[in-house]
Amino acid sequence: MINNMNKFIAIVGSNSNKSTNRELLKYMKHHFQSQAEIELVEIKGLPIFKKSADKFVPQEAKDIAKKIEASDGVIIATPEYDHSIPAILSSALAWLSYGIHPLLDKPVMITGASYGSLGSSRAQSQLRQILDSPELKARIMPSSEFLLGHSLQAFDDNGDLKDKVAAQQLDGLFKDFLQFVNIFNQLNNAKEINVQKAKDFSWDKD
């Protein structure tokens, strides 16, 4: 039954209305529905990050944080712009580490699609570094890049991946992520001190 399944939040790392990263996450939601419950979350409605004296966090970011906190893990799909993640994704992660810490010790799987042949490889590498920062401290699944290149031609009319090898690779990585989540749930003894360290961290200190 679905209530016994892991529940994952899938973040669309783009504000494009026709993002192939959204298509990738929709495919995963449908394709893996017998293995996990996946909810897509949009960040395109978030304002650009801005520090304030009262550490104001917009309600949209708080709502996303609550979903992440209630989940068993997070999947992030990022495009690549100028060898980096989009500004909207960077801004969203800043909000999610500004006085709130929903990603702390949360298992994360990184995926990505791009129009070119490299499949957002540089953006995924940068995203790993950001998620490992003191303010976020997510638990990123190691050695697990899924790089979907030429993404405009990657899906058929039903939204399924045309490339069977790519589909098989994603199947294997998702199974690994399920195991990663289950194993990590048993290796979470330092969470309380990690939470305190994140709360004590300040962007205003050099």
Residue 64 lies in a domain: yes
**Residue 90 phi, psi dihedral angles, 5° rounding:** -60, -40
At 118-134, the pLDDT tens digits run: 668 899 999 999 999 98
**205 domain-assigned:** no
- What DSSP designation does 112 have? E
- What is the pTM assigned to this prediction? 0.89
Tell me the per-residue pLDDT of 28-50, one tens digit each, with 9 for 90 and over.
999 999 999 999 999 998 999 99
What is the CATH number for 99?
3.40.50.360
Could you tell me the CA-to-CA distances from 184 to 36, 38, 52, 107, 131 in Å, in that order?
17, 19, 35, 8, 16
- How far apart CA 147 and CA 124 sit, in angstroms, is 9
Count of domains forming the chain: 1
Q: Is residue 206 part of a domain?
A: no
Q: Indicate whether 123 belongs to any domain.
A: yes
Helix pair 164-184, 20-31: axis angle to 10 deg: 70
Residue 48 sits in which domain range? Answer: 2-200
